[in-house]
A and B are shown apart, each in its own frame.
Chain A
Amino acid sequence: MAAPLELSCWGGGWGLPSVHSESLVVMAYAKFSGAPLKVNVIDNTWRGSRGDVPILTTEDNIVSQPAKILNFLRKQKYNADYELSARQGADTLAYIALLEEKLLPAVLHTFWVENDNYFTVTKPWFASRIPFPLSLILPGRMSKGALNRILLTRGEPPLYHLQEVEAQIYRDAKECLNLLSHRLGTSQFFFGDMPSTLDAYVFGFLAPLYKVRFPKVQLQEHLKQLSNLCRFCDDILNSYFRHSLGGKLAPLQLSFICVEYLHILLGLYKQNSLLIEEVCALSLNAGL
């Protein structure tokens, strides 16, 4: 339990700690279960294979794939599900299957296959974080992998055509979002007041769809109409990821807040308020 846990994953943007669904699932689960995870964002250095990211490294183990990583964390006693009943555990498995079968194809399509989105947003973002010359190859490979997955699971053999499945996968995804919204209702999390594995998965799949700004946004528009799901994502971002978003500037912000508080106490607030407000605004802008 004391061994340091390091997670290699894709970095963040648009207010998210990571734009990659699978990385986000693991990061969220770690926050919920209290696992002390050291996050190593893949940046412009050459570092082994990137296809398997997220990867958890400990002293003796290397674990890949979110399901296996979560299992490993549970075995290390970082369990976000210990308060769930057996039936709720079963529901978790079922809803995760629903996400993977019905929502994932459309999310993959929105990020990696839809040309406008891929060429204007996804490809530049990933290419900027991969060293040359891999940046020329890897995004294309990831895009092909996504297309492959969509066609092989939803297309019809032997001639797989994207057009036939596009309409269907978006219909399925919208229905899946509606089902999730019905299931969540007005609760804070899917199983009561504490977040669990299912909340990590839903957050991981929905948050990038919610926050990343795309030119072609039909699925995003649909999600934004489901206000309880948007509230769910925002709540988790604000409660569990707020401090890590500031990065290096978080201590700086904290110190400005302390200075302001001191001034209030000493009654000097009125004279210096403008200066403090400006400085705080500057630091907030720079931090986020």
Chain B
Amino acid sequence: MGKSYPQTIAAEPWPENATLYQQLKGEQILLSDNAASLAVQAFLQMCNLPIKVVCRANAEYMSPSGKVPFIHVGNQVVSELGPIVQFVKAKGHSLSDGLDEVQKAEMKAYMELVNNMLLTAELYLQWCDEATVGEITHARYGSPYPWPLNHILAYQKQWEVRRKMKAIGWGKKTLDQVLEDVDQCCQALSQRLGTQPYFFNKQPTELDALVFGHLYTILTTQLTSDELSEKVKNYSNLLAFCRRIEQHYFEDRGKGSSSIRLS
């Protein structure tokens, strides 16, 4: 599914100064980007690879694909969870090597489910729900820039996201339908997780990192209403799952929890 890396990449060990870039945590970053960044951080923690998080207002523009987060390792810059997993694998670290082919297929399918439903719902809520757009998104997205750039960039991004929603058939959805989809997705994840600690029993994989990134961010981000986080809270095993990963991979290693509060 990805590019193949030359031997030189594989030969270099993971450097101590590897950095992850995202937008400014307090004032700028949005729900969907924060979820993506947290997923990558969780994945790297699970692989035991050190990473330093650096916040830059123009992280989105620095990224090679226009999406955050991206990591800077040695002289390579890689963005988004999928390519980062491939890159880390080329360096000899992998969480999913122990899975058989059918399990790998399942893992990839569930990752697409999260992207297809959860991420799209987050984007919809942020950019297509008038209340959220007006109260939160516009202000946050343009906050590092002076007038009128802040408005122009925010409107441009909103137009872009709305085009995408229309192209995939979400343009005509109402907020209630979107929340229904989120509920369906959470139900599927909850049923798949069952009573196991991680999705593939004892060891976490990139799927666990991705699900954690999204669910944790939804649970800890304050929006105009609590409807989104309520949908996740209905499933107790998902809550326990988030708590478990937070405790094991973030608190225990001395990092504070990365919740953001939107005012």
Contacts and interface: CB of A to CB of B under 8 A. Distances in A.
B112 interface: yes
A153 B169 CA distance: 12
A89 to B, nearest CB: 7
Given A97-B109, A180-B105, A182-B102, A90 B188 contact: yes
Nearest to A167: B3
A89 B106 CA distance: 13
Interface residues of A, number: 30
Contacts of A158: 66, 160
Interface stretch (B134-142, B189-197, B241-249, B251-259): B189-197
A179 B191 contact: no
A156 B112 contact: no
Contacts, number: 80
Nearest to A159: B66
A162 to B, nearest CB: 15
Chain A contact residues, majority secondary structure: helix
A80 B234 CA distance: 27
Contact of A97 (B101, B116, B169): B116
A91 interface: yes
A90 B187 CA distance: 8
B188 A179 contact: no
B106 A91 contact: yes
A171 B82 CA distance: 14
Contacts of A182: 101-102, 104-105
B34 to A, nearest CB: 19
B47 to A, nearest CB: 22
Contacts of A180: 105
B164 interface: yes
Interface in A178-198: 179-180, 182-183, 185
B106 A152 contact: no
A78 B192 CA distance: 25
Contact of B65 (A100, A102, A156, A172): A156
A149 interface: yes
Given A102-B112, A179-B105, A90 B192 contact: yes
Nearest to A148: B167
A94 interface: yes
A267 interface: no
Interface residues of B, number: 31
A175 interface: yes
Interface string B183-221: 011011101101000000000000000000000000000
A98 B109 contact: yes
Nearest to A87: B191
A94 B106 contact: yes
B192 A87 contact: yes
Given A91-B109, A94-B106, A148-B163, 16 more contacts: A89-B191, A90-B189, A93-B113, A93-B188, A94-B112, A97-B116, A100-B116, A101-B115, A101-B116, A149-B168, A152-B168, A179-B109, A182-B105, A183-B102, A183-B106, A185-B102
23 contacts: A89-B191, A94-B106, A94-B109, A94-B112, A94-B113, A95-B109, A97-B109, A97-B116, A97-B117, A98-B108, A145-B167, A152-B163, A152-B168, A153-B164, A156-B66, A157-B160, A171-B2, A172-B1, A179-B105, A179-B109, A182-B102, A182-B105, A183-B106
